[in-house]
Structure 1
Amino acid sequence: GIDWVFANSVSRWIAFVDSDDWVHPDFLKVLYETAEKTACKLSVCDYFRTAGEDFPVQPDGEARKLSSDDYYCGRYHNGGTATAWNKLYHRSLFQHLRYPVGKLHEDEFTTYRLVYQVKEVGFSPRVLYAYYQNPVGIMKSAWSPKRLDALEAFEGQIAFAQEREDGKLLEKAVKSYLYGTYEQLPQAPKVFRRELRKKLRRALRLAKQCDCLPRNQKNRWAYEAAYPCKPFWWLVSKFARQKGERIRE
């Protein structure tokens, strides 16, 4: 782990590769050159999901520098902003930061802190990381209480964004929390559903505060999942009509 690197290596840079993934031969070369060119302590490349296929034709485009918000909350990439892999880190970024031990989705607890620590990220559009889609991997395995770790991580991201008064990051974290809770709700055993509904209700309150989930027919699924024992949407509509309000479509 990171402690071993600090104790046994003099390398100034650290990268991670998951055990069933693979990288392009130029992976480290391009990431290092991107970091040098942009003068950033964190560089990132694009990736693709694969069931075994080789790397696709590489896209055109030069490495560029992005703000933390533009990278983590923007659309400059194919996802993977929170993952530990597809990145090259200057070792100084881990001087006072570690991945939590025993947590599933440990990168959701940590990567955002690394990204906002550097303030700017070097981004290469080249596809240099192959993410193997294992049909029995974490995201497709049977539900277990460890899946709640992801929601804990999103709660940490929300608190971090609120402390920084960062609207973009807060919206992203709230949406991740809301959708993550909603997806787990039907999968979890009955004993866990009460707590998950509490989390979903909190997520809806936060979404209302940051105006990232309009209260309309399109999004009624979230309210119906959070309040299954009463015709919540009907009540909201009724109260809105009584007050002369118009629910946004």
Structure 2
Amino acid sequence: MPCEKPLLSIIVPVYDVERYLPKCIDSILAQTFTDFELILVEDGSPDGCPALCDAAAAKDARIRVIHQKNGGLSAARNAGLDAARGAWIGFVDSDDYIAPEMYEVLYQAVQSTGADLALCDYAEVDETGAPCQSMHVRLEKKVFAGQDLLKNATDSMIQPAWNKLYRRAIFAQLRYPEGKLNEDLFLIPEVCLQIQKAVVVPKALYYYVQRGGSIMSGNKTLRHFDAAEAAQRYWECLVENAAYDALANAAKFTMGSVSRVYRQLPPALRKASRSREMLRMQFEVVSRTRQYCNVPGGLWLQSWLLWRLPQTYSRLRGFKG
């Protein structure tokens, strides 16, 4: 019989990952930390995932399966949060896998420091498990206060939902925004505001699989501006919490988020109203930042070019079209 109140609830959203799911589940069941429940949220998957989930649950009493109509990654994570019984929460994406000691190491880290959140480094790998060229930078600092973590939330180790162990109370009033891409970035500022202390484990314990058909690797559409919307919300969160020394970096991050999507859009979508609104928004963020702190002149000029002369800006960046 499964433990009525497991110490840890591991939530795995499942959708169209038949090739990857068995490895993901096996890596979780192989954890050296054993006091957990594994919640598989089968989000209306059109492949063999529903049967794979049920078969896994039949073999291990720690596994619970939720079958629901497709609602997207945020809806699946939220369903898992609603069902979770553990005092601690972890997320694993169903096309990724984790090291056997991941949750034991993270739990020891929060226990030894009294932190509300632990995060570990991650390795980017291809579908064969071979290392990919990584762009993310490992955090050097070991312990962060919540406000310090907020100031560094553009960091690629802080943003993801899945390389962390969370005290359950963090999610008492928080849920992921449904219908949005980049849901991790939308929520991480709110997570930072809920914690007193976070601890960093500088070891890669999570394996992030770069696969060709994932949501974030396909052609860019107007939906991908959700990343810029999340960046804008992050900037506003810093202003609301008087974290002015992080604003210039957040403004640069917002502008970069808009630029990255705009330059990868088909020409017709560049003329869409949301594209124009995002170009204006990033300039407004950069300009408003000057009310609170110094902004490099080059950043302001690039932001103005992106807003007023986006084609010229794109050519200067060396991209065709």
**TM-score of Structure 1 vs Structure 2, range by shorter chain:** 0.7 to 0.9
Change (3 A) 1:6 1:199: closer
User: How far did 1:2 drift?
Assistant: 3.8
C-alpha distance in structure 2 between counterparts of 1:177 and 1:201, whole Å: 9
Q: Give yes or no for the alignment of 1:130 onto 2:207.
A: yes
Which residue does 1:142 correspond to in 2?
219
User: Residue 284 of structure 2 aligns with which residue?
Assistant: 202
Conserved? CA contact 1:175–1:207, under 8 Å: no
Check whether the contact 1:182–1:222 (CA below 8 A) recurs between aligned residues: no
| Conservation of the 8 A alpha-carbon contact between 2:234 and 2:250 | yes
Mapped partners of 1:212, 1:25: distance in 2: 46
**AA at the equivalent of 2:144:** L
Aligned-residue offset at 1:111: 1.4
* 1:6-21 correspondence to structure 2 within 5 Å: 6-7=82-83, 9-21=84-96
1:1-249 equivalences in 2 (<5 Å): 1-7=77-83, 9-51=84-126, 52-53=129-130, 64-74=142-152, 79-188=156-265, 189=269, 190-192=271-273, 193-211=275-293, 213-216=295-298, 220-228=301-309
* 8 A Cα contact 1:21 1:131, kept in partner: yes
Q: Offset of 1:200 from its aligned partner?
A: 2.8
One-letter identity of the residue aligned with 1:67: A
- Give the Cα separation in 2 of the matches to 1:163 and 1:73: 12
TM-score by length of 1: 0.77
d(CA) in 2 for partners of 1:198 and 1:6? 38
Q: How far off is 1:22 after superposition?
A: 1.1
CA distance in 1, matches of 2:141, 2:227: 31
Give the Cα–Cα distance (whole angstroms) in 2 for the partners of residues 22 and 212 of structure 1: 42
**Deviation string for 1:82-141 (max 9, x for gaps)?**
110100011111111100111111111111211221031011111101111223433331
Matched-pair contact (CA < 8 Å) for 1:49–1:132: yes
Unaligned runs of 5+ in 1: 56-61, 233-249
Amino acid of the residue matched to residue 95 of structure 2?
D
Measure, in 2, the Cα distance between the counterparts of 1:74 and 1:4: 27
Instruction: Give the aligned CA root-mean-square deviation in angstroms.
Output: 3.1
Taking structure 1 as reference, are residues 196 and 54 closer, same or farther at Cα in structure 2, changes over 3 Å only?
closer
Quote the Cα distance in structure 2 between the aligned partners of 1:63 and 1:148. Answer: 31
Deviation, 1:183, is 1.4
- Quote how far apart the aligned CAs of 1:54 are: 6.8
Contact 1:47 1:78 in 2 (8 A): no
Helix, strand or coil at the partner of 1:123 = strand
TM-score, normalised on structure 2? 0.61
Post-superposition offset of 1:23: 0.8
Alpha-carbon shift at residue 157 of structure 1 (Å): 1.4
Write out per-residue CA displacement over residues 49-87 of structure 1, whole angstroms, 9 at most, x where no aligned residue.
1112279xxxxxx99422234445459x97221110100
Residue aligned with 2:272, SS = helix
Structure with bigger RCO (C-alpha 8 Å, 6+ apart): 1
| Matches of 2:80 and 2:161, distance apart in 1 | 17
Does the 8 Å contact 2:117/2:166 carry over to 1?
yes
- Give the conservation status (yes or no) of the 8 Å contact 2:151–2:238: no
Between 163-172 and 108-117, report the one with greater CA deviation.
163-172
More helix by share: 1
Kindly provide the amino acid, as one letter, of the partner of residue 122 in structure 1: V
Relative to structure 1, the CA distance from residue 6 to residue 220 in structure 2 (aligned partners, 3 Å threshold; closer, same or farther) is: closer
What is the one-letter code of the residue matched to 2:305? E
Aligned length: 223
Whether the aligned pair in 2 keeps the contact of 1:46 and 1:127 (CA below 8 Å) is yes
